[in-house]
């Protein structure tokens, strides 16, 4: 049985959202970033019954893997109680308008104003990273901080937080590269400061980037997708990569969608999903495993991500969550209520179980809570939670 619950915040003109270190950030079409004190907000709405699973659902996703709480997973009786209390939250929906949230939002002069609607946002190393048309804007995360500096003056498509202290970018120099070639770039953070040097590590076209520990998957939706496996990763600045075509590994068409995170790489088309397990050490790939799911959607997957709680695949008018328990899928959005965007937070410590879905008039924050109870080393759907130890 799927166990999920959600919080709905009613607000028009939401462009994007991000959750990081106890705050939810809402980016509006009016080019503002509104911070919400998420932990205090959750405290204020936590029900008296099932308070613990509620807090785990929305603010402490990985707490059950910490030494003091592991007993909840390992002890059969406690575990069953916990499953029951997560089940009690199932399908719960909490709805709030901006007014009800106002107590948890600082005054407007402390909201951050941005110059343009960003292509992508990340929060990492206590900083905001905004990919704009021609540069990356970096600024400190704190109330009232308005200064941002432009760095990496180059057009980028997307970026990902690297495994340790790096941010990795996919970009293309539109003025110097040839029409068909993309340039993959990696930049390094050294004690909080950006190295101005960009290392070009691949010239495959790419508009999708994720990491498999210290290796990287780059995907194009247009050309072949590749994995750049680290051959030597003792120091990031000395990394060397071995590039392998994922389309060849999957024996798939170059228009099939390839997506990955950490230990698993997936390939989806309108009918099937296939998976390869990847081990960074020794750069090993398992055989191709067919996932026993039949999409039968007759629609092309447009984009997808891998979370610990499962796979999220976006189609034209909806996204579908394939739970790591291999239970029934969850469909979000439809033709009349279309989705503007969505996000997961796979690098996060406290929000790994969340999926944020933005609609025209609201943001839905979904929390999925079934993944704690399955063997992370054996599951086929979703990435392994790295905090999980073998039983």
Partner 1 sequence: MSYPFDTPIHTNLGYSYTFVSYHHIKSNPNKSLWVLNQADELQMFLDTIIVNNIVFTETSSFGFNIICNNSQLEIVGHTYTGLPLFIGKFIKKNTCTDWHGYPGNHVANSQDIPPDAILENWISQGVSLRDIKRIKKGKQL
Q: Name the site residues for partner 1 (rule: CB under 8 A).
A: 15-16, 29, 116-117, 119-120, 133, 155, 157-158, 172, 174, 179-180, 205, 207-208, 220-223, 255, 302-303, 338-341, 360
Burial of 244 (0-12, 13-18, 19+ CB in 10 A): middle
Q: How far is the CB of 207 from partner 1 (least distance, A)?
A: 4
State the Cα–Cα distance between residues 1 and 221, nearest whole angstrom: 34
Q: Which is nearer to partner 1, 5 or 121 (CB)?
A: 121
178 vs 287, beta carbon nearer partner 1: 178
* Residue number with CB closer to partner 1 (335 or 378): 335
Q: How far is the CB of 97 from partner 1 (least distance, A)?
A: 20
Min CB(154)–partner 1 separation in Å: 10
How far, in Å, are 30, 92, 368 from residue 81 at the CA level? 46, 18, 17
Residue 83 or 246 with smaller CB distance to partner 1 = 246
Residue 198 or 374: the one with the smaller Cβ distance to partner 1 is: 198
Report in angstroms how near the CB of residue 15 gets to partner 1 at its nearest. 7
**Residue 10 beta carbon to partner 1: minimum distance, rounded to whole angstroms:** 17
The β-bridge relationship of strands 193-194 and 14-20 is unpaired
Q: Quote the least distance from Cβ 193 to partner 1, whole Å.
A: 27
For residues 261 and 346, is the Cβ–Cβ distance under 8 A? yes
SS3 43: helix
Closer Cβ to partner 1, 28 or 354, answer by number:
28
d(CA 129, CA 132): 9
Query: How far apart (Å, rounded) are the C-alpha atoms in residues 308 and 262?
Result: 10
SS3 of residue 162 by DSSP: coil
What is the C-alpha separation between 222 and 236, in angstroms, rounded? 29
Residue 41 to residue 37: CA distance in whole angstroms: 6
């Amino acid at each position: 049985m799927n166990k999920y619950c959600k919080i709905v915040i009613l607000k028009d003109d939401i462009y994007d959202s991000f959750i990081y270190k106890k705050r939810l950030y809402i980016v509006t079409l009016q080019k503002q970033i509104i911070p919400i004190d998420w932990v205090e907000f959750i405290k204020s709405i936590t029900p008296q019954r099932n308070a613990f699973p509620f807090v785990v659902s929305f603010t402490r996703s990985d707490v059950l893997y910490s030494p003091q709480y592991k007993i909840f997973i390992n002890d059969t009786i406690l575990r069953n109680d916990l499953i029951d209390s997560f089940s009690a939250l199932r399908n719960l929906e909490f709805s709030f308008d901006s007014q009800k949230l106002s107590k948890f939002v600082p005054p407007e002069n402390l909201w951050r104003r941005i110059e343009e609607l960003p292509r992508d946002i990340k929060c990492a190393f206590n900083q905001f990273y905004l990919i704009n048309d021609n540069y990356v804007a970096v600024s400190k995360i704190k109330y009232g901080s308005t200064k941002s500096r432009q760095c990496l003056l180059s057009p980028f498509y997307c970026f990902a937080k690297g495994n340790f202290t790096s941010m990795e970018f996919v970009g293309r120099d539109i003025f110097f590269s040839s029409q068909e070639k993309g340039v993959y770039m990696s930049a390094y953070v050294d004690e909080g400061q950006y190295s101005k040097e960009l290392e070009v590590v691949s010239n495959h076209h790419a508009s999708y980037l994720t990491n498999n520990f210290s290796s990287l998957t780059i995907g194009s939706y247009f050309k072949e997708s590749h994995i750049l496996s680290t051959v030597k990763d003792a120091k990031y600045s000395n990394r060397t990569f071995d590039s392998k075509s994922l389309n060849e590994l999957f024996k798939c068409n170059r228009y099939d969608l390839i997506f990955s995170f950490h230990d698993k790489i997936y390939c989806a088309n309108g009918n099937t999903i296939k998976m390869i397990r990847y081990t960074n050490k020794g750069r090993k790939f398992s055989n191709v495993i067919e996932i026993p799911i039949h999409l039968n959607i007759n629609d092309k997957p447009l984009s997808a991500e891998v979370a610990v709680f499962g796979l999220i695949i976006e189609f034209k008018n909806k996204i579908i969550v394939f739970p790591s328990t291999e239970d029934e899928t969850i469909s979000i959005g439809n033709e009349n209520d279309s989705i503007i965007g969505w996000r997961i937070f796979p690098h996060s410590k406290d929000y790994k179980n969340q999926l944020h879905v933005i609609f025209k008039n609201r943001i839905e924050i979904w929390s999925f809570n079934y993944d704690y109870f399955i063997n992370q080393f054996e599951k086929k759907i979703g990435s392994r939670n790295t905090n999980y130890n073998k039983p």
